[in-house]
Amino acid sequence: MENASPPQDLVADVFARDCTSRAAFEDVTAKWASLVLLALGEGSFRFNALRRKVEGVSEKMLSQTLQALERDGMLTREVVTAIPPRVEYELTELGAQVSGKLQGLAELLEASAGQVGLARERYAQRA
């Protein structure tokens, strides 16, 4: 029985290629996923409203992103029986925690946008 423990009992490490935490970290920081998680931090969204909020995302990419995040347990997809029927996406408790961490990162970068712009100018002049 010595080696029978499931992988989740090992110490998780985002640097380890085969760790679930690494996969989850990559999923939530994927190109559109982080913006979707940030948006849903403001409340539940219908597909088209979410697409307008996350400027530039295609229908296909948004759909794939939502599926990956649902698979990881970050959000739920609920079909509301109305006329016409609609689909709503909402964060789970874990998704809300992840969204909160990303919110902190987004706020830092929004506050540092001028600094990043200056760094880019200096880099361009040097090259």
Binding site for its own copies (CB under 8 A): 6-9, 11-17, 19-21, 23-26, 28-31, 34-35, 38-39, 53-56, 70-73, 94, 97-98, 101-102, 104-106, 108-120, 122-123
In the complex, minimum distance from the CB of residue 52 to its own copies, in angstroms, rounded to a whole number = 10
Closest C-alpha among 106, 119, 107 to residue 29 = 106
In the complex, minimum distance from the CB of residue 79 to its own copies, in angstroms, rounded to a whole number = 14
Going across the sheet that includes 86-91, the strands are: 45-46, 86-91, 75-80
Q: Which is nearer to its own copies, 84 or 93 (CB)?
A: 93
In the complex, minimum distance from the CB of residue 43 to its own copies, in angstroms, rounded to a whole number = 14
